[in-house]
Amino acid sequence: MQRVDVAALAAASPMRGREPDRFQYELMIEDDDGRREVTVSEDRVPEELRPLLDRVRAQG
């Protein structure tokens, strides 16, 4: 998460997908700068977020 520009992601949210019926992820990120929500479609996930989402998905 240290590599993620949370402010930029929140500003770009919701990152709508191009492909129908893909999953959408809603992330609530809380850090020293406050709480922000990021919504991103499965087919629009930025590379810097992929490790986090992979970990969340692996946990079920």
CA dist., res. 35 & res. 20, Å (int): 29
Q: How far is the CB of 2 from other proteins (least distance, A)?
A: 25
Output the six-digit token pair for 55.
């970990």
Identify the bridge partners of residue 39 per DSSP, sorted by sequence position: 26
- With CB under 8 A as the contact rule, the residue among 2, 3, 20, 47 that binds other proteins is 20
- With CB under 8 A as the contact rule, the residue among 17, 29, 36, 53 that binds other proteins is 17
What letter represents residue 5's amino acid? D
Nearest to other proteins of 33, 37 (CB atom):
37
Contact between 4 and 48 (Cβ < 8 Å): yes
The footprint of other proteins (CB under 8 A) covers 14, 16-24, 26, 39, 41, 43, 57-58, 60
